[in-house]
Amino acid sequence: MKRTTLKDLARSLDLTEGTVSRALNGYADISPRTVDRVQQAAVKLGYKPNQNARLLATGGVAEAVAYVIPQNHSSLAEPFVAQLLRGLDDSLSRRGWDLLVSHSRSAEDEAEKISRLITSGRVSGVLLTRPFRNDARIKLLQEAKFPFVVHGRSAHCENYAWYDIDNELAIKTATLHLIEQGHSRIGFIGAPLYYNFAYQRLEGYKLALQESGIDYDETIVEITEMRDDAGESAAANQLDSDHPPTAFVCVSDTQALGVLAAVRTRGLTAGADVSVIGYDGLKIGRHANPPLTSMAQPQVQSGRELGDMLLAIIDGDDPTKHQVLKRAELLLRNTVGPVVKDRNYH
């Protein structure tokens, strides 16, 4: 039960392979009558061109790109992924390209997967996310001269294409918002600093404090994994201390959700006793308790733009022409309120 090939088709029609091929591909030098016969026969015999042969002959490239999903990606942040995916697909499918996703469980695993991807010839471009400050994957791709774009950027991002949110500005905005509400003791729930975005967000926090003449106090900055439980225990830590913060700025909604939990279990209410602001603008934040104020970035749109960028680069564009920096918007919900000075809940 072999697939029917061009040769089969040709034989059954008493034509040559070349003729059949041209008929199928709409060449002008085939009589309409023949084209017809060929098409009929093609569907009848269930002919499906062998893609490998076709691409080999035409010298075509794989019409697909890969999205490599970061390793220990918080399961709560996954809406993020799904949205991006959709945007990407939007962009790619406009050209009929395919999207291939690849997970990985460790950094080495990821490097290995990437080199497999670039040598396999299965994709002609790669999309990276959540780069480290100093990212080996980027170096890999650069050395291989393989088309790629990164969602986010590493510390040295001059020579490749990226699409990022101004993390510094975003967190600075968030922090200033808190400060405007009278808060001055603002806890920071961060992520591991080898992530460049985490580093930048911490910088933004520091900047806001500095501009406002507030001293940076490292005892109220917590660096945790981007999970809700991590955020929760970090916040618990802070809230149970002698001199707890009156507000928290978090680098992810996931962590912020955890912070809210910690706040609740202590009989406090966010937005009144304690203010909390997250990052990502996840839709589910609307259903949090209370609805979570956050810094939002439109993911679907990001995916779309990232796809377009990647496509352009594959087409030969200079990657350095594609470096876009967006800004996040403050998404006001209910977890931020003016400071209460006389709080005393111990």
Question: Contact positions toward DNA, by CB under 7 A?
Answer: 2-3, 5-7, 14-19, 21-25, 27, 29-34, 47-50, 53-54, 56-59
Token pair for residue 234? 């970090």
Task: Give the integer Cα–Cα distance in Å for 106 and 225.
Answer: 15
Residue numbers 201-240 binding its own copies by CB under 8 A: 228
The minimum distance between CB 37 and DNA, in angstroms, equals 8
Is the bond preceding 79 in cis, omega lying within 30 degrees of 0?
Answer: no
- Applying CB under 8 A, does 136 fall inside the site for its own copies? no
* Cross-strand pairs, 83: none
Residue 337 three-state SS: coil
Q: Which is nearer to DNA, 48 or 95 (CB)?
A: 48
Q: Which residues, 6+ apart, have CB-to-CB distance to 293 below 8 Å?
A: 271, 275, 276, 277, 278, 330, 331, 332, 333, 334, 335, 336
Residue numbers 110-129 binding its own copies by CB under 8 A: 113, 116, 119-122
Contact present, 295 and 173 (Cβ < 8 Å) = yes
Q: Which is nearer to DNA, 2 or 243 (CB)?
A: 2
First-to-final CA distance of the chain: 77
Draw the binding track, 63-92, toward its own copies (x: CB under 8 A; -: no contact): -x----x-----xx-xx-xxx-xx--xx--
| One of 17, 98, 217, 273 touching its own copies (CB under 8 A) | 98
Other residues' Cβ atoms within 10 Å of the Cβ of residue 225 = 16
The minimum distance between CB 106 and its own copies, in angstroms, equals 13
Residue numbers 139-158 binding its own copies by CB under 8 A: none
Q: Are strands 293-296 and 329-331 parallel, antiparallel or unpaired?
A: antiparallel
Residue numbers 23-62 binding its own copies by CB under 8 A: 48-53, 55-56, 60, 62
Q: Which is nearer to its own copies, 72 or 219 (CB)?
A: 72
Task: Give the integer Cα–Cα distance in Å for 273 and 284.
Answer: 23
| One of 187, 204, 271, 290 touching its own copies (CB under 8 A) | 290
Q: Which is nearer to DNA, 52 or 344 (CB)?
A: 52
Contact present, 159 and 115 (Cβ < 8 Å) = no
Contact present, 212 and 176 (Cβ < 8 Å) = yes
One-letter amino acid for residue 323 of the chain:
Q
Residue whose token pair is 């084209």: 35
Nearest CA among 268, 249, 269 for reference residue 330: 249
For residues 282, 126, 101, 54, the Cα torsion angle rounded to the nearest 10 degrees is: 140
The minimum distance between CB 72 and its own copies, in angstroms, equals 11
| One of 4, 5, 34, 102 touching its own copies (CB under 8 A) | 102
Interaction partner, residue 99 (its own copies, DNA, none; CB < 5-8 Å by kind): its own copies
Phi-psi label, residue 113: left if phi above 0, alpha if psi -120 to 50, beta otherwise: alpha
The minimum distance between CB 122 and DNA, in angstroms, equals 14
Q: Which is nearer to its own copies, 19 or 289 (CB)?
A: 289
Interaction partner, residue 22 (DNA, its own copies, none; CB < 5-8 Å by kind): DNA
Site residues, its own copies (CB under 8 A): 48-53, 55-56, 60, 62, 64, 69, 75-76, 78-79, 81-83, 85-86, 89-90, 93, 96, 98-103, 113, 116, 119-122, 228, 257, 260-261, 283-284, 286-290
